[in-house]
Amino acid sequence: MGESVWVLGATMTKFGRFADKDLVDLASEAAIGALDDAGVGMRDMQVLAAGNLEEASTGVGQRIQHQLGQYGVPVFNVVNACATGATAVRAVYLSIAAGEADMGLAVGAEQMGKQGLLNAGKKARTGEKRVFAPRGRYGALQGVEGVLGSGLMPGVFAKAGLEYAAEHDGVGFEQFAKVAVKNHAHSALNPLAQYRDAFSLEQVMAAEMIGYPNTVLMCCPTGDGAAAVVLVSEKKLKTLDPDQQRRAVKISASVLTSDPFTEADHVQPDINTLTRRAADEAYAKAGVDPQDLDLVELHDCFATAELVHYDNLRLCEPGGAGDFIDSGAPTRDGRIPVNVSGGLISKGHPIGATGVAGIYEITTHLRGEAGDRQVSDAKVGLAHVIGLGSSCGVHILERRAS
């Protein structure tokens, strides 16, 4: 095995809605933050990866270079659904692991605004004569969303949660709601979170229902934001200042998976199998046991998703995700704190930024720099994201042995 790759600098912008900024403003703010945090400049970067969904065809990485420094280094513009940011980090990781670069910059950024449900509001054609004719790979005569079930995100992730409930005792609406209570409470301590309000279990369960069992307080918002990390080879790190070395965080595992064939994934995306594979591969690579983790940032796009990932990431006993949340284990002062940032539910989910922001959060705790929300004496953490389609990224980070 080659030498390790390290996080040298990390930052994120506040998540929220920033109508007065454009995508490159947000991406540049994060990139400069990470470069300054690392104590290096664009001239030191030998590779750049930019993760973004909505403006992916515009050369986001090059647009960042135009703002911050153009030196002709390779740029990877990546899109991988909600795993886009983690994929950008992994592209830089691979370049360094392959020995092609000593140092590189990964930026994830998104500007979504207040657009409501993703994929919603497609306009129907009007004015043309309408004659039914089968179209597409299903031979459909007209749109099937809402007629043959729902393929939109709230429905898909709600069904993933209730499928788990069907298979395991002690899981229901209340357990899912407790996830959201926890993450909203966590976000109150995070100045970079989009929302910072705590809610009671009663408030979460009584909020507007979006897709049972997820109420609006159990769904992530759309929003704007960016995050960035500077990665460095171990060899290069050893040549840097003691303070840069002291704050560096080791990437013990970087894993990306897609979904293998399963019986039902052509009708209901399987968010479990690829997450389990990614997690198991990451634990093996890092030589870390799930019970060794001091904190986890996982992909809680909906409260139902977080609950099933307790099991997928082996944080709880098999089938025991309901007991895990009921016991308080994933709260900030619990056995394995999960989403102390507030998670996607309350910190926010600007899609391209999310995977990088999870790595920022873990890094900040491992450095002991997380302020009011610091998980005490954090030594090892895991960041997980999953995008439908599907793609899953898992990174395990470790504090430098002192």
Partner 1 sequence: MSAPATTRQLPLVRYLALEPEPHLVANECTKCNAVYFETRVACASCENRDFQPRPLATTGTLRTFSIIHRSAKGIPTPYVSAVVNLDGGGVVKANLVNAGTDPAGIRLKMPLRLTTWVVGTDDEGTEAVAFGFEPVEGGSNG
Nearer to partner 1, 145 or 197 (CB): 145
168 near partner 1 (CB under 8 A)? no
Diameter of the chain by CA atoms? 73
174 near partner 1 (CB under 8 A)? no
Nearer to partner 1, 263 or 377 (CB): 263
Around Cβ 124, how many Cβ atoms within 10 Å? 7
The correct pick among 162, 207, 240, 388 for binding partner 1 (CB under 8 A) is: 162
Token representation of residue 201: 């279990």
Backbone angles phi, psi at 196, to 5 degrees: -135, 30
132 near partner 1 (CB under 8 A)? yes
Degrees (nearest 5) of the Cα angle 295, 301, 307?
60
Least distance in angstroms from the C-beta of 144 to partner 1: 7
Residues 6+ apart with CB under 8 A from 85: 51, 106, 108, 227, 351, 352, 353, 354, 355, 356, 357, 358, 385
- How many CA atoms within 13 Å lie on the side-chain side of 382? 36
1 near partner 1 (CB under 8 A)? no
127 near partner 1 (CB under 8 A)? no
144 near partner 1 (CB under 8 A)? yes
388 near partner 1 (CB under 8 A)? no
Least distance in angstroms from the C-beta of 141 to partner 1: 5
The correct pick among 19, 72, 125, 129 for binding partner 1 (CB under 8 A) is: 129
Least distance in angstroms from the C-beta of 193 to partner 1: 23
3-state secondary structure at position 172? coil
User: What does the alpha-carbon distance between residue 367 and residue 109 come to, in Å, rounded to a whole number?
Assistant: 24
Backbone angles phi, psi at 209, to 5 degrees: -80, 130
Q: Which stretch binds partner 1 (CB under 8 A): 64-72, 128-136, 175-183, 334-342?
A: 128-136
138 near partner 1 (CB under 8 A)? yes
Least distance in angstroms from the C-beta of 344 to partner 1: 18
User: What does the alpha-carbon distance between residue 202 and residue 124 come to, in Å, rounded to a whole number?
Assistant: 39
Closest Cα partner for 108 from 147, 61, 164, 177?
Answer: 61
Q: Which stretch binds partner 1 (CB under 8 A): 59-67, 140-148, 340-348, 369-377?
A: 140-148
User: What does the alpha-carbon distance between residue 383 and residue 366 come to, in Å, rounded to a whole number?
Assistant: 12
Token representation of residue 234: 């171990």
* Beta pairing class for 48-51 and 103-111: parallel
3-state secondary structure at position 368? coil
Nearer to partner 1, 98 or 144 (CB): 144
Compose the 210-249 pattern: x for residues touching partner 1 by CB under 8 A, - for all others.
Answer: xxxxx-----------------------------------
122 near partner 1 (CB under 8 A)? yes
401 near partner 1 (CB under 8 A)? no
CA dihedral 130, 136, 139, 140 (to 10 degrees): -50
Backbone angles phi, psi at 167, to 5 degrees: -95, -20
User: What does the alpha-carbon distance between residue 328 and residue 336 come to, in Å, rounded to a whole number?
Assistant: 9
119 near partner 1 (CB under 8 A)? yes
The correct pick among 20, 241, 243, 263 for binding partner 1 (CB under 8 A) is: 263
User: What does the alpha-carbon distance between residue 109 and residue 241 come to, in Å, rounded to a whole number?
Assistant: 30
Least distance in angstroms from the C-beta of 392 to partner 1: 17
Q: Which stretch binds partner 1 (CB under 8 A): 81-89, 107-115, 208-216, 347-355?
A: 208-216
Nearer to partner 1, 150 or 245 (CB): 150
125 near partner 1 (CB under 8 A)? no
208 near partner 1 (CB under 8 A)? yes
Q: Which residues bind partner 1 (CB under 8 A)?
A: 117, 119-122, 124, 129-132, 134, 136-142, 144-152, 154-155, 158-160, 162-163, 165-166, 173, 208-214, 261, 263-264, 266-268
